[in-house]
Amino acid sequence: MKKGIYVCAALVLVLTLALAGCGLFSGGSSDKGGGKTDAISLLDGQRTYKLPDVDYDTLYLCQVDVNPDDENALLSEFLEFGIQKEYHLTYAKDSKAIRQDDIYICDTAENAKAMYDAFVEMAGSEENFTLYEDDPSMIVLVFDQEMVEGTILQFAGYGIGLDADADAATYAQFDADIYSGYLIDVTAAE
């Protein structure tokens, strides 16, 4: 059952990336406002990610550990790129998920560039992907509000774990569960 969920999650990720690449989802950020601009410490303080200017009231952080011994783990296919951890930041406003940043941390800038190239090839577009300019060993995939809502609708349509009107907390927990990640509400911890 768990492997089936992993396969489904991987298929949804590939479909979402393909849709982002073909322009069905816009890559521009429509998030404006006086959002918090603090930074998040990642990889036990070894890396820092500056939060974008997004107007949110709740921020969820999912940490996904890499397990090289688990060939069924979603990240196992990226071991050749020296991936160390993956983080998902889900921004919420009024309990609605408005953005998600997936951050992939590799051991070197060269490996991150190779993984970035693999992502771009898989998606067919560079749209929504960036090598983080403050630390080129990090790749960031940005899901704007439309993409997050599309992901929720895809899973709801498959009847897997989410309703079409899932709130941000439910979505973030579902995302963490799929990736066997650990979820915290960053804003509650502040």
Backbone angles phi, psi at 86, to 5 degrees: -130, 140
For helices 145-158 and 2-21, give the axis angle rounded to 10 degrees.
140
Where would I find the beta strands (DSSP E) of 51-180? 58-65, 83-93, 96-106, 129-131, 138-143
Q: What is the mean pLDDT of the chain?
A: 80
Residue 41 has pLDDT above 60, yes or no: yes
Segment 86-112 shows an average pLDDT of: 96
Q: For residue 45, what pLDDT band results from cuts at 50, 70 and 90?
A: confident
Does the structure show a pLDDT above 50 at 32? no
Quote the pTM value: 0.78
Q: How many domains does the chain have?
A: 1
- Identity of residue 54: V
Select from 143, 155, 167, 178 the least CA-distant residue to 58.
167
C-alpha 58/C-alpha 100 separation (Å) is: 12
Domain that holds residue 156: 2-189
* Other C-beta atoms lying within 10 Å of the C-beta of residue 144: 20
Segment 122-161, tens digit of pLDDT: 888 888 999 999 999 999 999 999 999 999 999 999 998 8
Distance from C-alpha of 144 to C-alpha of 131, rounded to nearest angstrom: 17
Enclosing H/E stretch for 178: helix 168-178
Report pLDDT for 149: 95
Q: What is the DSSP letter of 177?
A: H
pLDDT tens, position by position, 168-187: 999 999 999 988 889 998 88
How much is the pLDDT for 157?
A: 94
Contact 164, 156 (CB under 8 A): yes
Place of tokens 């709740």: 58
Tokens describing residue 190: 């502040």
Residue 72: pLDDT band (50, 70, 90) is low
Instruction: Return the H-helix or E-strand segment holding 21.
Output: helix 2-21
Cα 131 from Cα 121, distance rounded (Å): 15
In whole angstroms, what is the distance from residue 102 CA to residue 88 CA?
A: 4
126's CB contacts (< 8 A; 6+ apart) are: 120
